[in-house]
Amino acid sequence: MAQIIGAIACSHTPTIGFAFDKNKQDDPVWSPIFEAFKTVRQWIADRKPDVLFLIYNDHVTSFFFDHYSAFTLGIGESYPVADEGGGPRDLPSVAGHPALARHIGQSLVADEFDMSFFQDKGLDHGVFSPLSMLCPHEPSWPVSIVPLQVGVLQFPVPSAKRCYKLGQALRRALESYPEDTRVAIVATGGLSHQVHGERAGFKNPAWDAQFLDLIENDPVRLTEMTQAELAELGGMEGAEVIMWLVMRGAMSANIEKVHQTYYLPSMTGIVTAIYENKASLAVKGETKRHLAHMNQQLAGAAALSGTYPFTLERSVKSYRINKYLHEMIVPAHRAHFRNDPESSFEQAGLSQEERRLVRELDWRGLIHHGVIFFMLEKLGAVVGVSNLHIYAAMRGQTLEEFQQTRNAPNALYSVAGKEQSLQEWATAK
């Protein structure tokens, strides 16, 4: 079973990444940052976690306000460094852990958290600023990560209490994961700071000290605080410390703080802290009960002949071809496909099997491969194949055989717009 070996809390200010990239280790102004992270880096090296569950907020880099979610879990295979305006930092991508991520996601949804999921997105300084200090990165990072993005920049945001409850659900998810996996939880952000308006530069070291005491010894008191109260004491952007409550909720009630530092070089109080569990052993049967709870909603679906629920596993496995087909909504992409399909396959990096499936319009094969139906619908609109043709092909029937089971046997339709000629349907596969 997976084991939570401890938790790390640290700021994610870009100051940290700047000091690292500019080799400021020997500069007396910057060296305290390196000293603070040195202990945490050694703890990771000694305890050897397999995965860092990393709680952060994106700074309107990879997530914009066209779709902004409260809790967004990364389920992808890897995560590159995001370009925040001046080009990405010179760091390699970090591996994800899709199997653990989808287990966590399924567990959190079963516990009635309405999660969003992401892959194929870069991570900004919310992740890579502290990560560059936590672990070596050459030739590659020694750990994989599961990132949780918390939407704290556009109100309304999750309450402190909701974040704490999410942490409690996260603990159930992690401790029910069936593989022997060592997990360290990393909470990033804070402490007191404000970066906008006439209050920019606000800091409150006294509140920072009180917060650190409460997060360790009495976190429930923090869960009662409003965003306005947190902003008054710690600055508007400093209210992102609610993310620390996700970490604290995932730990046992009794913890031991084995390290803590605080340094305020500029805008943000830079903190590093390490907490270790004093957890009791699992109660007999609780993991089995939780796994049954997680699987309740789809129990029996696998027995439905010809039915393939589009799970997180299928989403990750077939992300590339689903993305390729989804881009049929872009005029330039579908023009490229129509004019030179082999070149478009190559550009998208499709496998030979994926190319064959698209080339042959193997509708049933595409479903079996992991393509969601609504991508078939888009491909059909581009090549002149109606939805009804696709339905019949997936059933292994001719169009005529399928239409005999309908109340409108002559009806053909598609999502195609003005580019589609209906006459093409007469000869479509």
Q: Where in the sequence numbering do the catalytic residues fall?
A: 125, 193
Euclidean distance between CA atoms 355 and 352, whole angstroms: 5
Closest by CA position to 79, among listed 64, 91, 66, 63: 91
Q: How many CB atoms lie within 10 A of CB 259?
A: 16
Contact present, 290 and 106 (Cβ < 8 Å): no
Q: How many CB atoms lie within 10 A of CB 299?
A: 9
Euclidean distance between CA atoms 148 and 128, whole angstroms: 13
Q: What residue type is assigned to position 382 of the chain? A: V
The pair of structure tokens assigned to 200 is 């920019």
Q: What residues are paired with 144 via a beta bridge?
A: 51
Q: Is 272 helix (H, G, I), strand (E, B) or coil?
A: strand
Residue reference for tokens 């993310």: 243
Contact present, 31 and 208 (Cβ < 8 Å): no
Euclidean distance between CA atoms 208 and 233, whole angstroms: 9
- Between the CA of residue 410 and those of 54, 108, 405, 418, what are the distances in Å? 55, 45, 11, 21
Residue 4 DSSP one-character state: E
